[in-house]
Structure 1
Amino acid sequence: MYKQKFGKYILTLLKIILLLPLAFIIQFPAGSEFLYSNETKYNINLVNHLVVLIFGILIAFFSVFYVYRKVNGAAIRLFSFKLKWIIFTIIVIIGALLIEILINLLSKNSAATTNYLISISIGFPLQPFFLIENVIVGPILEEFLFRGILQNGILKDTPAWIKIPITAFLFAFMHEGIINWKLMEWFTLGLGLGYIYYKSNDLKMSIFGHMLSNALIIIIDIC
């Protein structure tokens, strides 16, 4: 019995490790929002950035959707929206953002909440790429990976009080890469998104929450 459980845990761990390449692939579209080595703020080749964005989206979406259908298999209810879950999502995200702001204040970090200001400061030519990636493409891909594939796929049979924090930590670590106060902010958002998906059982709601969070953070950083 114990050997079977141990073998199951090892298999789950291996599956999570095998997701690492996918976590890298979903970052491809983000390559369109930064200056390249041969560019300056006043000399940007928008065609190159557009090509990177389009091909990055195609590769990332095909990869993540393919794995999602293999691991999860659940259909996405595209045109089914319930007002109570929309309101619930908004409340959870606002709560998570307030906690993130508190963490930021406690850490005495005077830097911007994200690196968004760095990208925005480049100027208009790359701002559309930045907004498309961070408010639309990124949230969709990340929610399919972390909530769809990991939380409700690989960790489907794991108790919620375990799988939500695990998924949130991996989500945070992918964004930050080191253990620090900033990782705690990402972890808080991950917990909120995981809870939204767990309660609503609707990936659209965690995607909506992620989009809303990123949009609000951009507005806060600009202001």
Structure 2
Amino acid sequence: MKKIKNIPLFLCLISFFYIVFKIINEKCIVYFESSKVYYIVDTITYLLSFFPVIFYFKKTMKENQYFFERKNLRFNNFIFYLGIMIFINFIMVNARIVYNNESKIIYNYESTTYYIITNIILSSLIAPILEEIIFRGILMNNLMKYGYKVAIITNSVLFGFYHINVNAIGRTILAGIILSYITYRYSLKYSIKLHIILNIIANLGKYLYYNDYIMIAMGIFTVVLIIIFIIGLIRKKYKEIFSIFKLNNEDRKNIIKFVKDNALYLLVILVIVISNLLFNYKLF
């Protein structure tokens, strides 16, 4: 039996098959005429897609030291990174969940207590942990052989394409770069914490938008963090993050090498992403 050449990217590919299940599930919802059935199936397929990832992560944790702390991330710096993340994602955080006419995906599920509670747990806690484990943990650790810039950019692009909502791809790629930098500079545990906080903030806006006091508080909180982001810009706190986009000749060669080494995996992922755009967004 032929050995899998790149297990981390293969595991990433398995996670991407969740999008395939999502497309199939979209077709089934018309038949079942129930968003509850859709949500249950969607949750199960999402969690199942990460089972191999969890197994591999646990098996290789000691060898790869995923949670090794290179440098302590002080609270004030953590706030600066939170500020830039909020600046990038403020539209997502404050947007209401509505039906997108350009997509068949139904965002406005039945507002049952069951759905709200389970979805908050899933999207605010479980999803950030699982996504950080696969993208910033397993995948990025494997890609470091191509250089840290290539590792950060590549896993962030894949992270962006993993998100089904086409309107969020750009924001999630940028968010992925910041989370990847935090993992590279400090530790995976900090990127997990930041990801969880961001998703909690997003869910507050998603489910509590009808509460004026909550929305006012969130508005003030967002403005404060954006001001912190601006202060961070002035103090050049994000200089190292911005430098990631400055690729030298060696970085470009490493990108080409990465593509050549993993062409088949990348091709399959590309097909899945294009299928999502075709079936759910009709962009082609």
TM-score by length of 1: 0.64
Cα RMSD (Å) of the superposition? 4.2
Overall identity of the aligned pairs, in %: 24
Whether 1:207 and 2:192 are equivalent positions in the alignment is yes
Deviation at 1:204, TM superposition (A): 1.9
Partner Cα distance (2:10, 2:94) in 1: 29
Partner Cα distance (1:19, 1:121) in 2: 28
Structure 2 counterpart of 1:74, one-letter code: N
Which residue of the partner structure matches residue 65 of structure 1? 54
Deviation at 1:146, TM superposition (A): 0.1
Which residue of the partner structure matches residue 192 of structure 1? 178
Residues 113 and 169 of structure 1: is their aligned pair in 2 closer, same or farther, counting only changes over 3 Å? farther
* Structure 1 ranges of 4+ moved more than 6 A: 111-115
Residues 94 and 162 of structure 1: is their aligned pair in 2 closer, same or farther, counting only changes over 3 Å? same
Residues 158 and 85 of structure 1: is their aligned pair in 2 closer, same or farther, counting only changes over 3 Å? farther
Q: CA-to-partner distance for each residue in 1:190-211, whole Å, 9 max, x for gaps?
A: 111111111112x221111111
Q: 1:38 aligns with which of 19, 32, 44?
A: 32
Deviation at 1:99, TM superposition (A): 2.6
Residues 214 and 18 of structure 1: is their aligned pair in 2 closer, same or farther, counting only changes over 3 Å? closer
Q: CA-to-partner distance for each residue in 1:60-114, whole Å, 9 max, x for gaps?
A: 5542122224566335669x9x97445533431321220334xx6xxxxxx9877
Unaligned runs of 5+ in 1: 1-10, 29-34, 105-110
Whether 1:170 and 2:158 are equivalent positions in the alignment is yes
Whether 1:20 and 2:13 are equivalent positions in the alignment is yes
Residues 85 and 61 of structure 1: is their aligned pair in 2 closer, same or farther, counting only changes over 3 Å? farther
Partner Cα distance (1:121, 1:67) in 2: 33
How many residues end up aligned between the 2 structures?
Answer: 190
TM-score by length of 2: 0.52
Q: 2:77 aligns with which of 88, 92, 96?
A: 88
Q: CA-to-partner distance for each residue in 1:32-70, whole Å, 9 max, x for gaps?
A: xxx9553547xx58xx94x9857964x455421222245
Which structure is larger by alpha-carbon Rg, 1 or 2? 2
Residues 55 and 171 of structure 1: is their aligned pair in 2 closer, same or farther, counting only changes over 3 Å? closer
| Partner SS for 2:32 | coil
